[in-house]
């Protein structure tokens, strides 16, 4: 197909692009019928497909979202921030988490330790 101008791009086009990218992935994602489903380090090879890792897709969409807005696009018109794209990424994350036996919990930021204040001197 001919190139699509960004102003005509929608969340559906972004999803089509993400599904296209999936065929070039290098992450083994076990199917529910695979004996290694849910195991992070399988002991033997299996015929399960290689897919794009969720983290790679999430990072790519994050960069494209930022670039769209840096080049004058309005946040509400950003196809990379469309609800369908967010739902797709969440679905990929959850399915890969189950298939690979790893969790994608958000990392909690460590707060710097509080330095206790000395009591006010009474001189």
Domain coordinates in residue numbering, the chain: 6-100
Q: Where are the alpha helices (DSSP H) in the chain?
A: 11-22, 54-70, 83-100
Residue 106 pLDDT grade (very low, low, confident, very high; cuts 50, 70, 90): low
The structure's pTM equals 0.76
pLDDT band at 6 (very low <50, low <70, confident <90, very high): confident
Q: What is the mean pLDDT of residues 66-83?
A: 93
Residue 15 and residue 64: Cα distance in Å, rounded?
13
Among the listed residues 12, 86, 11, the one whose alpha carbon sits nearest the alpha carbon of residue 54:
86
Rounded Cα distance, 22 and 51, in Å: 5
Confidence of residue 80 (pLDDT cuts 50, 70, 90): very high
Give whole-number Cα distances, 97 to 1, 4, 11, 103, in Å. Answer: 34, 33, 24, 5
The model's confidence at residue 105, banded by pLDDT at 50, 70 and 90, is low
At residue 78, the pLDDT reads 95
For residue 69, what are its two tokens? 């807005």
When pLDDT is averaged across residues 38-57 and rounded to a whole number, the result is: 90
- Alpha-carbon distance 71 to 31, whole Å? 40
Is the per-residue pLDDT at 69 higher than 80? Answer: yes
Residue 99 — very low, low, confident or very high, per pLDDT cuts 50/70/90? Answer: confident
Can you tell me the distance from the alpha carbon of 61 to that of 2, in angstroms, rounded to the nearest whole number?
A: 22
**CB neighbours (10 Å) of residue 54?**
21
For 12, the 3-state DSSP assignment is: helix
Specify which residues 50 forms β-bridges with.
Answer: 28
Q: What is the pLDDT of residue 4?
A: 80
């Amino acid at each position: 197909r001919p190139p699509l101008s960004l102003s005509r791009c929608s969340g559906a086009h972004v999803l089509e692009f993400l599904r296209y990218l999936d065929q070039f992935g290098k992450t083994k994602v076990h199917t529910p019928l695979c004996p290694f489903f849910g195991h992070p380090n399988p002991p033997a090879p299996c015929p399960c497909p290689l897919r794009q890792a969720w983290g790679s897709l999430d990072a790519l969409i994050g960069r494209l979202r930022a670039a769209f807005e840096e080049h004058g696009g309005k946040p509400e018109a950003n196809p990379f921030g469309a609800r369908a794209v967010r739902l797709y990424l969440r679905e990929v994350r959850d399915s890969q988490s189950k298939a690979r036996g790893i969790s994608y919990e958000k990392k909690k930021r460590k707060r710097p330790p509080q330095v206790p204040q000395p009591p006010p001197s009474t001189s």
